[in-house]
Amino acid sequence: MAPLGADLVIPALALGFAAYFFLSIADLVWEAKANGVLIGAILVALIAVQLVRMGIRLARGEGDLRADPLWQPRDALGKRIGMVAITVAFIAALPWLGLTLALLLAMLAALRVMGVRRLSTLLWVSSAVAAAAYLLFIVTLDSAFPHGPIERLLAALFA
């Protein structure tokens, strides 16, 4: 029997994200709400498809709700926990550090946890991701991501 319990993690997280998404669009103009509802509805529909697929396998006796794949292989468990910790730290630091600096530091830490050891690779990849996020979300889309020291410095330089 296949352990299907681990397959519930991503749908559960996605459902939490969808709920947050629906709550966060409540104060937007109707056009943005319509787009947000459409995107959120698609996400919820995909979650439903996954749950139905799992339900069918459970009903056929092809699996059970064990979550063994979450803990196996044991040597990858530290990396998984590290990535969760980095994600939580990124979300917590975002309001104070701003998108660019928080993403730069999170990428550095994530690449390190995943095994990247070359300093040049760590710096270039992390810097490129942070710069791309800055250009897309802050400069181009003028999104509501928190502005930190890097965003304020660059705004002062280019104002």
Q: What is the pLDDT of residues 54-70, one digit of tens each?
A: 999 999 999 888 888 87
Provide the number of structural domains found in the chain. 2
What secondary structure letter does DSSP report for 144? -
Tell me if the pTM is above 0.95. Answer: no
pLDDT at position 3 is 85
Same domain assignment for residues 113 and 78: yes
Q: What angle do CA 122, 75, 103 make, to 5 degrees?
A: 30
Mean pLDDT on 67-75: 82
Same domain assignment for residues 86 and 148: yes
Same domain assignment for residues 13 and 86: no
Same domain assignment for residues 50 and 92: no
pLDDT at position 18 is 83
